[in-house]
Structures are given as structure tokens and as C-alpha cells.
């Protein structure tokens, strides 16, 4: 997959503006626009982008794991990211 395709996917998933991505990932707010216009990045720049995307994906996975869950095997019910009960299976709200 080309680097631009990976970036476009990231932008679509996160709602990040192209200029912000370029500024944060490689220090160039015009980076994505230039890629769209045919710019071919150096290998070192591609590596920076790949590392940025991998790091961002890891953070996203970590955050989604900590959002909270419903434990169907117990009476715990809905919990927040810290494990505090938000809604017990008996129907009472704790918050």
C-alpha cells in the first residue's frame, strides 16, 4: 500500500486535517497536499510517517481497550475506563 493511501485512511478514520497531519508527523503542513500533487517523499520521510502511523494506531488501540465494557459473565454490568461500575445488572445506575 502506498504511503498516501495509508495517510488518507488515517485522515478518514480520525478526522484529522491534512495540514495538521503533515505538521505533526513530519513538520511540514503542506506534506499531504504535496503528496496528492505527485511529490515522492524520501525514504527517511516515509519511515517517519510509517512510525507516526504505527504509534497513532497503537494509541488508538490502547484507548479503545480502556473505554469500558460490559462483562456478560458477571453481575458487574457496564464499567468505565477505570473499572468503576456505571450501571449494574440490577438496573441501578451508580453515577
What tens digit of pLDDT does each residue of 46-92 get?
999 999 999 988 776 666 565 555 454 554 455 555 666 655 545 55
Query: Residue 73: its pLDDT value, please?
Result: 52
Residues 30, 36: Cα–Cα separation, whole Å: 10
Instruction: Measure the CA–CA gap between 36 and 32, rounded to whole angstroms.
Output: 6
Over 60: is that where the pLDDT of 24 sits? yes
Q: Rounded to the nearest 10 degrees, how much is the dihedral formed by the CA atoms of 55, 57, 62, 68? A: 150
Residue 91 is classified by DSSP as: S
Q: Is the full-model pTM beyond 0.75?
A: no
Q: Is the pLDDT of residue 93 over 60?
A: no
Amino acid at each position: 500500500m502506498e504511503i498516501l493511501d495509508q495517510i488518507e485512511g488515517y485522515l478518514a478514520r480520525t478526522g484529522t486535517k491534512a495540514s495538521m497531519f503533515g505538521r505533526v508527523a513530519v513538520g511540514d503542513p503542506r506534506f499531504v497536499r504535496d503528496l496528492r500533487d505527485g511529490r515522492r517523499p524520501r525514504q527517511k520521510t516515509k519511515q517517519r510517517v510509517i512510525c507516526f502511523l504505527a504509534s497513532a494506531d497503537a494509541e488508538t488501540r490502547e484507548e479503545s481497550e480502556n473505554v469500558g465494557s460490559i462483562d456478560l459473565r458477571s453481575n458487574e454490568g457496564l464499567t468505565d475506563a477505570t473499572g468503576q461500575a456505571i450501571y449494574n445488572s440490577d438496573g441501578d445506575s451508580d453515577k
